[in-house]
Amino acid sequence: MIRTRRTAAVVVTFNRLGLLQALLERLDQVPGLDEVIVIDNASTDGTSQWLAGLEGAEYDEHRSVPVLGRTLVSNTGGAGGFHDGLALALERGADLVWLMDDDGLPAPATLGQLLEHDDLDFWGPLVVDERDPGRLVFPIRLPGGTRVVHDASSAETAAVGGLLRDIVIPFNGVLVTRDLVEAIGLPRAEYFIWGDDHEYRLRAEAAGARIATVVAARVEHPSVGSLGTPMMAGRTTYNHTPSDLKHYCMARNNLVNLREYRGWPHAVAFVAKTLWFYTVTRPRPGRLLLSARAWWAALRGDFTGHERYLR
């Protein structure tokens, strides 16, 4: 007799109780899901109290899919939340773990569409704008070239056998196998936010994992604006964010990722690109200083500097 693989969803949340409630209501309608594990990053909006009331001793027996909540003693960011949640899911016997933030909303059929491709190790859906489902929230650079697509129809056209091979948008409704986690380890909790998901994909890629996006599957997500601000007369883009916290973590973590996985030439090119953007494209001396602090922390292996930007 072939044993059915146990599938657990891991949801990381922080101070977005309304979104979490909507997501859990949706996940309760998903066939094939055995358990939902919620990692609450020390929210202050009543999330921990609501989860405690939802669970009872361990989970609400009246739900179709049981929910297990864990509230952390401090905010460890998405990276820390997925680190702990993935570890707990495996400890509880999951063979497949479905990773997602609290602001995504998978269609009820999404998990089934992903599970149709059971020969993969790390795979996920298209992440589309909740207000405009034809638009990708996170643009995709197609394999084998420099073309970047921004709409779901272009991604579908480029797919082969329903898949975009070697591409995935991590931690937005992605599945990962127990075997892969045991081979490459858990996400790097010290990253806090921004770059932890990309590092995990790079680690999986380096280990030879079978990675893909299933273009028929969908997760709806709020728009995050333009992730690529044009620079150098539109020849390239830069991921500018108004948040000092996000930029600090991006600058630090991206430099580490490039140095470790692509080599120093790519790391130096990223530094030069940042200097150009905040000197020429959008002059902001303060952001240059912030970048320098982040890069110095990256070179020293210091992953505590982001704490000064927490609110």
Report the amino acid identity of residue 1. Answer: M
Other beta carbons less than 10 A from residue 47's beta carbon: 23
Total count of residues recorded for the chain: 311
- Both 30 and 121 in one domain: the answer is yes
- Both 40 and 162 in one domain: the answer is yes
- Both 208 and 237 in one domain: the answer is no
- Round to whole Å and give the CA distance between 126 and 129: 10
- Both 13 and 93 in one domain: the answer is yes
Residue 85 lies in a domain: yes
- Both 51 and 150 in one domain: the answer is yes
Helical (H) or strand (E) element with 287: helix 285-300
pLDDT of residue 57: 41
- Both 51 and 122 in one domain: the answer is yes
Q: How far apart are the first and last CA of the chain?
A: 53
Residue 1 lies in a domain: no
Residue segments in the chain with a per-residue pLDDT below the cut of 50: 1-2, 56-59
- Both 75 and 209 in one domain: the answer is yes
- Both 119 and 201 in one domain: the answer is yes
C-alpha closest to that of 78 among 41, 47, 131: 41
**Looking at the whole model, is its pTM more than 0.85?**
yes
69: domain CATH number is: 3.90.550.60
Which range marks the domain in which residue 234 is found?
Answer: 229-309
- Both 235 and 206 in one domain: the answer is no
Residue listed under structure tokens 């975009």: 164
Residue 2 lies in a domain: no
CA 2 to chain centre: 32
- Round to whole Å and give the CA distance between 191 and 194: 7
- Round to whole Å and give the CA distance between 226 and 103: 17
- Both 70 and 47 in one domain: the answer is yes
Number of domains the chain contains: 2
- Both 214 and 236 in one domain: the answer is no
- Both 62 and 173 in one domain: the answer is yes
- Round to whole Å and give the CA distance between 217 and 236: 29
Task: List, in sequence order, every residue forming a beta bridge with 123; answer none if it has no partner.
Answer: 175, 212
